[in-house]
Structure 1
């Protein structure tokens, strides 16, 4: 995969940035997803202030959140679908925005490592880019089961 990673906070270590790309690569090879090697996406790490602004602007929620996904293949109201089939261009699945402050807060709250929470949020956002959601009970089970499987298989167990 072609993964662009931007750390606007400049707080993540080289190993944490590598974990981000490694776990996305790993998840992309899962038999359920099996994405092609030329698939593109981005991950941007921000602070709570910036993710609050994005959450308010795009989701009309006036609070910081942990992760936001912008899937290019999601159709909004009155939008035409983006169809990549038959085109000789890489498939861009979208962008993930992650709050580094929320990673810290939630790692402490759930009593696991920063790396486990980082992996969790990145995989969660990645699955949203691939059409998974948790708006109803059956979709939530499907998404969370796959998320848990990817994290466990990668070695980021709770």
Structure 2
């Protein structure tokens, strides 16, 4: 089995093509392998600053755009369902057990950050995908030690697919 990347494009800043999605899928597989995760679904949505600003305000109480948001299904499946998924008639929660969660990326933020950090947009989006994926698995960066753990894992996965600075 493999992790399943399902994606949606809700922005018009950047054309999202098969090449980028293929790269992000390989990156997700490498990050999953490193964590011992070989199956599950990750939903990735590309948005603009306005859309992520609204999500950030609504779900985190922070009134500004951000680069990436993650909504993990495994934290509390029923609570998260209210945020990211509406059950269809006849659908059971068990059917969602393999859904790891949703990652939402602002392409506008990613573009600005890639310029600021001096690397490619593909690398920045890849970084945000791995960062979001690690959050789906329960990682956080509340302190220096946990931030280092996440950074090391992110950089290792990015290096495996050639997305280096």
SS in 2 for 1:156: coil
Is residue 31 of structure 2 the alignment partner of residue 27 of structure 1? yes
After TM superposition, the score normalised by the length of structure 2 is: 0.81
**CA distance in 2: counterparts of 1:55 and 1:5, whole angstroms:** 20
**CA distance in 2: counterparts of 1:54 and 1:89, whole angstroms:** 22
State the shift of 1:55 in Å: 0.3
Structure 2: tracts of 5 or more residues without a match = 81-93
Question: Residues 50 and 65 of structure 2 are in contact (CA less than 8 Å); yes or no, is this contact kept in structure 1?
Answer: yes
Pairing partner for 1:96 from 81, 93, 103 = 103
Distance 1:48 1:21, change over 3 A: same
**CA distance in 2: counterparts of 1:8 and 1:17, whole angstroms:** 15
CA RMSD of aligned residues (A): 2.1
Pairing partner for 2:20 from 16, 23, 46 = 16
Structure 1: tracts of 5 or more residues without a match = 80-86
SS in 2 for 1:3: strand
Match of 1:42 in 2: 43
Match of 2:144 in 1: 137
Question: Residues 5 and 25 of structure 2 are in contact (CA less than 8 Å); yes or no, is this contact kept in structure 1?
Answer: yes
SS in 2 for 1:29: helix
Count of residue pairs brought into register by the alignment: 147
